[in-house]
Each structure stands twice: as C-alpha cells, then as structure tokens.
Amino acid sequence: MTAAALHIPVLLDAVMAGLAPVPGETHVDGTFGAGGYTRALLGAGVHVFAFDRDPDAIAEGRPIEAESQGALILVPERFSRMREALAERGVEQVDGVTLDIGVSSMQIDRAERGFSFQADGPLDMRMERAGMSAADFVNMADEDEIANVLYQLGDEPRSRRVARAIVAARPITRTGELADIVRKALGHRPHEKKDPATRTFQAIRIHLNAELEELEQGLAAAEHVLRPGGRLAVVSFHSIEDRIVKRFLRERSGATPAGSRHAPDRGDAGPKPSFEAVAKPVRAGEQEVARNPRSRSATLRVARRTGASPWGTYQPQDQGRQG
Ligand SMILES: C[S@@+](CC[C@H](N)C(=O)[O-])C[C@H]1O[C@@H](n2cnc3c(N)ncnc32)[C@H](O)[C@@H]1O
C-alpha cells in the first residue's frame, strides 16, 4: 500500500479554504507526511516547499516531486528551520504556511517505527530515526523525570504509579511490553474508552521528538517567512499543542498583552500585531470523524500575516505544569 493510501488528510477542505491558494503563489507545507495537503496545493497551481523530518516520508514523496515538474521541492528538515532552509534555496517570503502537527498514519501503522501500542515493535518513536529512542528514555531516565513527562505531555493523572512500574520492569525493548506494563499499572477500567497506554505513548513521543519546542519555533519561523497578507494554517491534535497555537495567535494579534521580554527594545507601545485572526477554530464534523477517526481531536486555526515586523522567538509564559 502506498503512503498516501494509508493516511487520510484531516480537515483538508477547511485547510485549503484557510490557505486560499492563488495560482503562481509559493507555499510551505511544514509537515509533508503522505502529501495530502501538498497534493491539494499543487492542484491549486501553487509552488510548494514541503518539509518533513522523517526520511521515510521524504523518500515516499520523491515520485510526486518528480511528477511535479519543479512545482514541488521536498525539504528533509524540521519545520523550525524553515526560514534558514528557504533562504538556502533563495526564498525569503512565502504566501502560505501549513503545519499539521503530530504523527502520520504511516508512522503509527508501521510497527517497526515503534510508535504504536497496538502492534508490537521495537520501542523507537523517533521521527528522524536518529537520536534518543523511546527505549533509551524509559531505560535510562530516572523515575521523577519519567513521571513528569507522562504528567505534562500525556495528561496522565497517575504518572508516578506508571513511572514506578516502568522503572521496576527495566530493561524494556518492545512497544508491546511497555503497553502491558502501563495497562497493568493502571488496571483495566471498564468506563475508559481509551487504552490507558495512549497517554504514556503520546507523552514519550512528544518528549523524544521535542514536538512542543518544534511547534513554538515553527510558529515563530512562519511569522518570519510569511509576506504581509500571507496565511498560516495549523492543525493540532492535543489540547497542549492547541494551547500553544492559540496563545501565540492571541498574543501576536494583540488580543493579549505581550510579556515585556518580547519587546525590551521597542519602546512602551510594544510590537504591533503581526497576525490577524481569520476565522474561528475549526473542528471536524461528524461525517469526517466517521470517515477518519483520527480527525476527532483535530483543531484548525487560521490567521493572516499583517505588515508588522516579526516579534521573533516565541516563549510561552505559562504552559507547563508540575507533576
Ligand atoms: C500528521 S502528519 C502530516 C500529514 C499530511 N498533512 C498529509 O496530509 O499527508 C505529520 C508529519 O509531519 C512530520 N513532522 C512532525 N513534526 C515535524 C517537524 N517539526 N518538522 C518537520 N516535519 C515534522 C511527521 O514526520 C509526519 O510525517
């Protein structure tokens, strides 16, 4: 099966409506995945720089790039580096940026990538196939660190109990093993629809791949590369990610006052709004959720770049919680 057949793009129509691509424009798809958004953008007649940090996603996208006759350039990089990567390719400004945060169905469905608690595989979870693996983390981190990651990034209310069980069961090398340890530690609760391992897997994945930091840096990078009038569309799947996007856009559209560190040298007036909200956040409707259950928790936010200078680095003031 091809990558595109495995992954159904989420909120595609709403994303395209938000990006409003005009033929001849240049857009960034920061999360190429199976190329669902990129294909739609190419179909609308725009040039696309499509980023993905997963070498498999890039390799599987090469045929689309070859067919595109120069309209698509695949960039095997993190989207946090979009400003530098575009500059290296002679591009300073673009008309649209899309981020579809998180993992693709290909990553989840392929047991050998180690993202899934439903299919047994090596405990990996690295999007880039490099750096610390999930096995390294659960086998080497101390109990407190594991508990904090599970609490902060997975909303696991019984993070200490799970961390204790993980440490007691080390070494752990398979996703199936980790899932069983979590299920045993938390017990089977009939009213819980979700597998109790979901939260632990989500937390470890977000931690290992530094996904929240990537999102913050990606938003700030998009602010730099979008031309005045350029559109930003961000789809996220967890409240913790959506909170980052919401706060970024609220702050940069002037809806909430910026912290003083954002504008230490810009005088009392502070920076001018660099984005304006375009529409209310969009959630998937019943039909889409029935067709694609992954869309259930998706939220799309769209904003338009103003002509004001970029504010620069984004450091949310109050995003973490202590476990
Ligand atoms: C949800 S999927 C995107 C699906 C895509 N919109 C589609 O329609 O096929 C997310 C993809 O983004 C990639 N990704 C996640 N974080 C990234 C980052 N910081 N930089 C670049 N790619 C990233 C993942 O490897 C994955 O392939």
CATH number at residue 216: 3.40.50.150
Asked if residue 201 has its Cβ within 6 Å of ligand 1, the reply is no
Asked if residue 20 belongs to a domain, the reply is yes
Comparing 26 with 188, which gets the higher pLDDT? 26
Residue 99 near residue 108, CB atoms below 8 Å: no
Percent of residues, the chain, with pLDDT higher than 90: 83
The residue out of 179, 208, 237 marking a domain boundary is 208
- Measured from the Cα of 34, ligand 1's closest atom is 9
> 3-state SS of 17-34?
HHHCCCCCCEEEECCCCC
Same domain assignment for residues 165 and 189: yes
* 89 plus 217 within the same structural domain: yes
Which residues make Cβ contacts (< 8 Å) with residue 13, sequence separation at least 6? none
> Which pLDDT belongs to residue 320?
43
Tell whether ligand 1 has an atom less than 6 A from the beta carbon of residue 40. no
114 Cβ below 6 A of ligand 1:
no
Mean residue pLDDT of the chain comes to 92
Say whether both 98 and 219 belong to one domain: yes
The pLDDT score that the predictor gives to residue 278 is 86
Q: Is the pLDDT of residue 241 over 80?
A: yes
Nearest alpha carbon to residue 154 among 122, 186, 127: 186
Domain count, the chain: 2
313 assigned to some structural domain: no
Q: Are residues 276 and 290 in the same domain?
A: yes
Of 208, 237, 263, the one marking the end of a domain is 208
Judge whether 156 and 212 are in contact, CB under 8 Å. Answer: no
pLDDT digits (tens, 9 = 90+) for 288-308: 999 998 899 999 999 999 999
**Which amino acid is it at 114?**
G
Banded model confidence at residue 269, pLDDT cuts 50, 70, 90: low
Structural domain boundaries enclosing 181? 129-208
> Tell me, what CATH number does 177's domain have?
1.10.150.170
**Ligand 1 atom showing the smallest separation from residue 31 Cα:** 12
Please work out whether the CB of residue 37 comes within 6 Å of at least one atom of ligand 1. yes
Residues 34 and 170 reside in one and the same domain? no
Residues 285 and 139 in one domain: no
Report the pLDDT value the prediction gives residue 290, as an integer from 0 to 100: 94
pLDDT tens for 95-141 read 999 999 989 999 999 999 999 999 999 999 999 999 999 999 999 99
Confidence check: pLDDT of 6 > 80: no
pLDDT value at position 5?
53
Q: Report DSSP state, residue 6.
A: H
| pLDDT over 70, % of the chain | 91
pLDDT of 323 over the 80 cut: no
133 plus 282 within the same structural domain: no
Atom of ligand 1 nearest to the CA of 51: 21
Min mean pLDDT across 54-68, 188-202, 210-224 is at: 188-202
Which pLDDT does position 1 carry in this prediction? 47
What's the 206 CA to ligand 1 centre distance in angstroms? 13
Q: Which atom of ligand 1 is nearest to the CA of 79?
A: 20
Does a structural domain hold residue 11? yes
**Cα–chain center distance at 179:** 23
Residue identifier of the C-alpha nearest atom 2 of ligand 1: 104
Distance CA 94, CA 164 (A): 48
Task: Please report the pLDDT score of residue 258 as a whole number.
Answer: 58
Q: How far is the CA of 107 from the centre of ligand 1 (A)?
A: 10
Q: Identify whether residues 153 and 301 lie together within a single domain.
A: no
Rounded to the nearest 10°, the torsion over CA 319, 299, 19, 316 is: 0
Contact 81 CB / ligand 1 (< 6 Å): no
76 is a domain residue? yes
| Same domain flag for 47 and 65 | yes
Indicate which residue's Cα is closest to atom 27 of ligand 1: 33
Higher-confidence position of 2 and 30 = 30
Q: Is there a domain that residue 123 lies in?
A: no
Same domain, 226 and 277: yes
44 close to 23: Cβ distance less than 8 angstroms: yes
Model confidence at 314, pLDDT cuts 50, 70, 90, reads confident
Domain shared by 15 and 58, yes or no = yes
- The answer to whether 251 and 276 are in contact (CB under 8 A) is no
What is the pLDDT at residue 259?
53
Strands (E), the chain: 26-29, 47-51, 72-75, 94-100, 226-236, 275-277, 282-283, 299-305
Is 21 near ligand 1, meaning CB less than 6 Å away? Answer: no
Q: Is the shortest distance between the CB of 33 and ligand 1 below 6 Å?
A: yes
Kindly tell me if the per-residue pLDDT of 12 is higher than 90.
yes
Cis peptide upstream of residue 190 (ω within 30 degrees of 0): no
- The answer to whether residues 79 and 218 belong to one domain is yes
How confident is residue 260, by pLDDT bands cut at 50, 70 and 90?
A: very low
Residue 198 has pLDDT above 70, yes or no: yes
